[in-house]
Structure 1
Amino acid sequence: MTHDTFTGVFPAMTTPFDDDERIDHDTLRDHAQRLETAGVDGLVPVGTTGESATMTHDEHIEVVETVVDAVEDVPVIAGSGSNNTREAIDLSERSADAGADGLLLISPYYNNPEPAGMEHHFRTIADAVDLPQVIYNVPSRTGRDIAIETAVSLASHENIVGYKAASGDLNRINEVIERTRSENFGVLSGDDALTLPIIAQGGTGCISVSANVEPERTVALVGAALENDFDRARELQYELGDLFRTLFVETNPIPINEAMEIRGIHSATMRSPLSPLQPEHRERLEAVLDELER
């Protein structure tokens, strides 16, 4: 079976919590439906932005189930990665059973595998679970880059249809795009500020933090870029530039959760060890969001 690649805007969804740090499933459902109505191309729950690192496996699957049940016409790509291959397979199988349409798989963190181990990890999951899968390269969090050769090799697997690029290194990202052009394989920006240049080089869209709070503008930016209307895409990039920068003044997802609270979408409550946004950064974020509403 050959799966389609993912194209467009896929918000890396925040997870709403109540004051006791329990998952607020009603608000999560509303959040998913709001994003679908805004025109996004898919949803990505329980990734980094969704605080998956502080959830139990059961909670992880409950979030996937809520999002799947909430939407009608957009695919749900569940974060189901781990630094333990067996655990990643278990989470991926459970996500598939919960109704996920695809998987986002973080590269193994902390245990720092060599390229051969990295490739074996992703191939083993792809062999075990017949869903379209996006491998996720974010060395600032995992401590290990997915080697270009590894990404290119993995693109040949029929279930591995995408690469979330969050290394910040455009030269390396561009080489992955160039060398996988003949494969059924898309490169998605994992850094909002780099979405436009990545699409200009041949990327297929983004897994976006900013789309949680500004989904319509993000959809318009990516849509314009994919249609080669770069004049319009640049205008939108300039409009959103301050937001892109401000959402990363502290560790993601601290600023985006504060942004969601400022906009009245859900509480900024996060689970420890994440801490509230510093007051001076909140003031700046409020100003940026206010400017976007004018």
Structure 2
Amino acid sequence: MAPTTPPRGVYAPVVAFFHEDETLDLDALTTHVTRLAKSGVAGLVIQGSNGEAPHLLHSERQLVISTALEALKQHGKPGAVIIAGCGAQSTRETLQLCSEALEAGAHYALVLSPSYWVGAMKKDTITQFFNDVASKSPIPVLIYNFPGVTSGIDIDSDMISELATANVGKVVGCKLTCGNLGKLHRVAHDKRITEPFAVFAGKSDFFLHGLVAGSNGVIAAAANLVPKIHVKLLQLYDEGRLAEAQELQTYLGEADWILVKLGVAGLKGALHKYYEYGGGRSRRPLGSVGASAFDGEAGDALKRIVEYEKSL
């Protein structure tokens, strides 16, 4: 049985891999998840923003979850969990995705705000959406705040805290990719929230800052590329070795910025370049990123951090 909230630690939002004909490449997925699991991550996020969920059929989403779960069971540390992206534009489909995620073996659902017809997405509408999902989802829910993929909708700290207190044991955490550290700190220390509630930083470039503010860890795209470095930074912070943690944070911030500019396909291109699997392909219209994208200073910076990762 999964704990009430996702365990504290590093989570990689796993990318989806495709063959040249855009069918799922499950062999590459297994290779990737096995590497992540062996790195000591606390768990995986499947079909987060990096997992191309909008490009997958429901059946494909379940297949990716079950494939990843099997590799995690074989190679992950005890207690490692799967958080499945289950956000959709309707309450009905979101609940369907939550049920299908449970069937495939996921432990938690990560849910974005709906954003279709953004003018209609008032605060009370979004609040009701999360209340409805939380009341009927068969697995606990984490609120996912990422204005970049929800037409600019930015869930504030009051709404998150109110949803947590109104849905105890059902809304059990949040992922804040908005980068608002003040919001993260407010939610992590909100005295209205009396039950365990996991607040995650949503990017590598404020991983350490989030820990200082009281986060439960990080769910970060760059953890696909260098998971051991993320795990090492958490260890250094917990041991009080702040200067060393700051040094690692500097490298992670640089790598994260490079990957952000390259996009989802670029992250997969980096995996192919430095670990020799995956092919760097996405489903159209995202396209592909080839090896030439890693020429020059950006490629040199990523090569250095990957070499350090491989030394750990």
How would you bin the TM-score normalised by the shorter chain? over 0.9
Deviations 1:132-176 (A, max 9, x none): 321100012102111222101111221211110011222233222
Q: Which runs of 5+ in 1 are unaligned?
A: none
d(CA) in 2 for partners of 1:189 and 1:227?
A: 20
- Indicate if the aligned counterparts of 1:255 and 1:277 stay in contact, CA closer than 8 A: yes
- Indicate if the aligned counterparts of 1:83 and 1:110 stay in contact, CA closer than 8 A: yes
d(CA) in 1 for partners of 2:228 and 2:69?
A: 21
Q: Does 1:110 align with 2:104?
A: no
| Change in CA separation of 1:227 and 1:182 when aligned onto 2, cut-off 3 Å | farther
**Equivalences for residues 49-198 of structure 1 within 5 A:** 49-72=50-73, 73=78, 74-112=80-118, 113-142=121-150, 143-156=152-165, 157=167, 158-179=169-190, 182-198=194-210
In the alignment, which of 270, 293, 300 is matched to residue 259 of structure 1?
270
| Change in CA separation of 1:155 and 1:223 when aligned onto 2, cut-off 3 Å | farther
* Residue aligned with 1:224, SS: helix
Normalized per residue, the structure richer in helix is: 2
* Residue aligned with 2:143, SS: strand
User: Which residue in 1 is equivalent to 2:4?
Assistant: 3
User: Which residue in 1 is equivalent to 2:300?
Assistant: 287
Amino acid at match of 2:4: H
* Residue aligned with 2:21, SS: coil
Tell which deviates more after alignment, 121-130 or 22-31: 121-130
* Residue aligned with 1:176, SS: helix
Amino acid at match of 1:154: L
**Equivalences for residues 12-31 of structure 1 within 5 A:** 12-31=13-32
d(CA) in 2 for partners of 1:265 and 1:120?
A: 43
Tell which deviates more after alignment, 1-10 or 124-133: 1-10
- Indicate if the aligned counterparts of 1:115 and 1:147 stay in contact, CA closer than 8 A: no
d(CA) in 1 for partners of 2:108 and 2:50?
A: 17
d(CA) in 1 for partners of 2:253 and 2:206?
A: 10
d(CA) in 2 for partners of 1:229 and 1:133?
A: 33
* Residue aligned with 2:100, SS: helix
Amino acid at match of 1:132: P
TM value normalised by structure 1: 0.93
Taking only the aligned residue pairs, the percentage that are identical comes to 29
Deviations 1:18-65 (A, max 9, x none): 111111112211211111111000011111101111111111111111
Q: Does 1:238 align with 2:250?
A: yes
- Indicate if the aligned counterparts of 2:5 and 2:196 stay in contact, CA closer than 8 A: yes
Q: RMSD in angstroms over aligned alpha carbons?
A: 2.0
d(CA) in 2 for partners of 1:254 and 1:57?
A: 21
Tell which deviates more after alignment, 39-48 or 61-70: 61-70
* Residue aligned with 1:188, SS: strand
TM value normalised by structure 2: 0.88
- Indicate if the aligned counterparts of 2:205 and 2:253 stay in contact, CA closer than 8 A: yes
Residue 279 of structure 1 and its aligned partner are, at CA, apart by 7.7
Runs of 4+ in structure 1 off by over 3 angstroms are 180-183, 226-229, 275-281
Tell which deviates more after alignment, 165-174 or 77-86: 165-174
Q: Across the two proteins, how many residue pairs are aligned to each other?
A: 293
- Indicate if the aligned counterparts of 1:204 and 1:226 stay in contact, CA closer than 8 A: no
User: Which residue in 1 is equivalent to 2:43?
Assistant: 42
